[in-house]
Structure 1
Amino acid sequence: MPLFVAAKVDYPPQKITLLASKRSRRLELWADSGEGYKYIHTYWIRHASGTAGPKLREGDLQVPEGIYEIEGLNPNSKFHLSMKLNYPNSFDLAMAKKEQRHQPGSNIFIHGKTSSVGCLAMGDQAIEDLFVLVERIGPGNSQVVIAPHDPRLLPLFPVPDHLPEWTAELYQQIQQQFEQFK
């Protein structure tokens, strides 16, 4: 709550957005109480596996990139607490279908502890803060945007020989989301 008081944002807010940068391992919390989004705090991501680029298949150890919602909360997680993302979302499923990939992956979480394979491990204190906040506002009032790096600092450009052709479209969507938060 002190972070919200300092930012002059009601607690709990109406909705939140979490901006995650895989390269810098930072997760920014932005909140809106009906007067527009305001920056609240930056959390360090303790571990995130994979490299730049979207998740393509189950078991590729890759943290996905895209625009997601929190679809569920697990207070009994083996990773202290966890929040399930709606990966694969409709974009991920459409690209998998287009490329005839049948197992794009599943069970992507933001969770506690300090290790993970394909998820964002936040440490226990950070996940407690985020979990309680999402529980109070409702998972449907949250958005999570995951990027390879912060596109407000350096534009997103897919490396042509490394990433699928559609990554340019995905990165444009991610860039537009991040640019709303300055």
Structure 2
Amino acid sequence: MGTRITRTNRIFFIGFIFLAALASAASAATVQQRVNQYGAAVRARMEPHFKAAGLTYPAARLTFIVLKDVKRLELWAGNNTSKDTPMRLVKTYDIKAASGTAGPKLREGDRQVPEGIYAIESLNPNSRYHLSLRINYPNTFDRARAREERRANLGGDIMIHGKAVSIGCIAMGDEAAEELFVMAAQTGVKNIRVLLCPCDLRSQENFLPPFTAPGWTATIYKNLKLALEDYK
């Protein structure tokens, strides 16, 4: 009898887990459903900013410039996918939370926001932090430096997301996350650039890497300075 009860319980438990998984999948929203949910409100909030910048909404290209020291994110946009078309500043956001200090991310658990030139890899419409945009850390440069230094466990899952808590991510609050998520979906992630900077290297041209940072950090800052020439 005891064996029969155990088997019955096991079958019931497996069935429960299967049904829970089905329910979770059924309740999960798609990117387009989130755009439908928040799109009208985002357009109403963002169109005046785009108009003031001399742009039409939505954009053909976007750039997010993150300034770690002052916890600020600048949204730049362009109405043409050509790289020869000037980008214009549309809106500046306060970052609600971002851990770490100046210097690149080196390993899992160091709580550092990465530094360098990145892309948006994907959008998560069912994030635990409302909505999130996944940054492609570690990128090719990060992996190459890690191989040279025989470093493993570089970490990952670096997001721009909602709420106001962060361990290596960039927490924007829910309303800002809705705006960035919807605009990213409408523009297309392939047309988005992310510059993660220790500070505003446009005005702090002589900023030096922390003494604890790897020597190649200077190369990151040089590349960021060159990239930021398009955003003045």
TM-score of the superposed pair, with normalisation by structure 1: 0.97
Aligned partner letter, 1:138: G
2:74 and 2:91 in contact (8 A); partners too = yes
Gaps of 5+ in 2: 1-46
Q: Does 1:99 align with 2:145?
A: no
In structure 2, the residue matched to 1:82 is 132
Kindly state the Cα deviation for residue 179 of structure 1 after the two structures are TM-superposed: 2.3
Kindly state the Cα deviation for residue 153 of structure 1 after the two structures are TM-superposed: 1.5
The structure 2 residue matched to 1:60, chosen from 110, 123, 145, is 110
Deviations 1:30-59 (A, max 9, x none): 001124201101000111000100000011
Kindly state the Cα deviation for residue 73 of structure 1 after the two structures are TM-superposed: 0.4
The structure 2 residue matched to 1:33, chosen from 66, 71, 79, is 79
In structure 2, the residue matched to 1:126 is 176
Q: Which structure has the higher relative contact order (CA within 8 Å, separation 6+)?
A: 1
Kindly state the Cα deviation for residue 122 of structure 1 after the two structures are TM-superposed: 0.4
Deviations 1:87-139 (A, max 9, x none): 00000111111110011111100000001100000001111111000000111
Aligned pairs, how many? 181
Kindly state the Cα deviation for residue 158 of structure 1 after the two structures are TM-superposed: 1.3
TM-score of the superposed pair, with normalisation by structure 2: 0.76
Q: Distance in 1 between matches of 2:218 and 2:53?
A: 34
The structure 1 residue matched to 2:62, chosen from 7, 11, 16, is 16
Aligned partner letter, 2:100: G
Q: Using the aligned pairs only, state the percent identity.
A: 49
Gaps of 5+ in 1: none
Structure 1's consecutive aligned runs of 4 or more residues displaced over 6 angstroms after TM superposition are none
Q: Secondary structure at the match of 1:125?
A: helix
Aligned partner letter, 2:149: E
Aligned partner letter, 1:85: I
In structure 1, the residue matched to 2:50 is 4
